[in-house]
Amino acid sequence: MTKLLTIRIPATSANLGPGFDCMGLALDLWNTFELHQGNGAGITVESHGEGEDVLPNDKSHLVVHTMIEELTTFIPFNPGHQSYHIVCRNEVPCGSGLGSSSTAVLAGLLFAHAVLDPHGFRSPAGSARILNRAFEIEGHGDNVAPALLGSLVIVVGRNGEVITHRITLPPTRVVVCVPRFHFMTSHARSVLPLHYSRNDAVFNVGRAMLVVEALRNGDASLLSRAMDDRIHEPYRLPAIPGAIEAKRAALACGALAVTLSGAGPGILAFAQEDHDAIGQAMQSAFAAAGGLSARYWVLDVASSGAQVFV
Ligand code: HSE
């Protein structure tokens, strides 16, 4: 089988406390997607690594689904002529709050645009188109934008376009602890209120700005005081058994700031030292208080987003 393209896309942690739906961080844990010439049977897929036992191997697979949807908005899709085989090598745990589905959406879009416009899809205009489409599909851009651009990205929608601002960070290391708990993003969004008070809005706006400045400057003291949230965490943490205790355990173990990773169930802890001890403390808390087994990763921020190798 002829390999046409390989794409690596990093894990991401969205929200970062007060930045609900508006900011995210790329992490040094990668899903790799290969596009091969197919054998005339449409688009087929196989998955290895994280999720290999649960991910579908037909056209309902998110990479395949997204690629076909995107292709068919531009050209009639003919499975005999447009035949590809996709190989997914996954390091990002599925359903963890680390943006695994965003990596799949981006891979599907990048593959579709690579097929449609092999020379243009990597241009700035091509990337902007892909980001806009990913934002439309996801409904928010706080995973897809850092996955595409790397580092810390602020992202907002404006009249059908997406505004992003990428911020380079000093070396930053986090611990992410992911319990074995099914917490669908759609459910995690459904538990949120439709309206918030002015006090809560002000609480979050100020802290979101401070978190950006703290991360940009590597200001540990500011980060530890600013990373707090009233939009999503108070509603989601209690729904994840042991999450409140895991957050408390990480802080007691010396983490600077601890927050839900995206919509969860993973917990993200910023720390300057003792990363393994913090990961183990969160694991123990999930087991003791929530009866859940958990895994943890010590990860650096990824300065690069999606990488394409032809
Ligand atoms: N900002 C999103 C949320 C991230 O918290 O629901 C998950 O996709």
3-state secondary structure of 189: helix
The pLDDT tens digits for 31-88 are 999 999 998 889 999 999 999 999 999 999 999 999 999 999 988 878 777 899 999 9
What structural domains does the chain harbor? Answer: 2-168+303-309 (3.30.230.10), 173-300 (3.30.70.890)
Instruction: Give the per-residue pLDDT at 120.
Output: 85
| Pair type for strands 84-90 and 43-49 | parallel
Peptide linkage before 171 cis (omega within 30 of 0): no
What per-residue confidence (pLDDT) applies to 139?
Answer: 87
**What is the rounded distance in angstroms from the CA atom of residue 241 to the CA atom of residue 238?**
7
CA of 174 to the centre of ligand 1 (A): 19
Looking at residue 257, its pLDDT comes to: 98
Closest atom of ligand 1 to CA, residue 260: 5
Q: Could you tell which of 185, 191, 261 is best to mutate to test the pocket of ligand 1, judged by most ligand atoms within 8 Å of the CB?
A: 185
pLDDT at 77: 77
Confidence (pLDDT) at 188 = 96
Q: Whose CA is nearest to atom 6 of ligand 1?
A: 263
Ligand 1 atom closest to the CA of 192, numbered from 1: 6
pLDDT at 82: 82
pLDDT at residue 80, rounded to an integer: 75
With a cut of 70, list the residues of the chain below it in pLDDT. none
Q: For residue 65, count other CB atoms closer than 10 A to its CB.
A: 18
Question: What six digits make up the tokens of 144?
Answer: 């897809």
185 Cβ inside 6 Å of ligand 1: yes
Ligand 1 centre distance from Cα of residue 78 (Å): 35
Ligand 1: distance of its center to the CA of 186 in Å? 9
Tell me, using a 6 A CB cutoff, whether residue 233 lines ligand 1: no
Q: What is the 3-state secondary structure (H, E, C) of 90-114?
A: ECCCCCCCCCHHHHHHHHHHHHHHH
Residue to substitute in 25, 92, 103, 143 for testing ligand 1 pocket (most ligand atoms within 8 angstroms of CB): 143
Residue 43 CB–ligand 1 contact under 6 Å: no
pLDDT at 114: 95
Atom in ligand 1 nearest the alpha carbon of residue 142: 1
> What is the CA(15)–ligand 1 centre distance, in A?
7
The SS3 of residue 45 is strand
Question: How far apart are the CA of 296 and the centre of ligand 1, in A?
Answer: 20
- Under a CB-based contact definition with an 8 Å cutoff, are residues 43 and 68 in contact? yes
pTM equals 0.96
Q: Is 2 exposed, middle or buried (0-12, 13-18, 19+ CB in 10 A)?
A: exposed
- Please indicate whether residue 232, judged by its CB atom, sits closer than 6 Å to ligand 1: yes
Here the tokens at position 153 are 């990205």
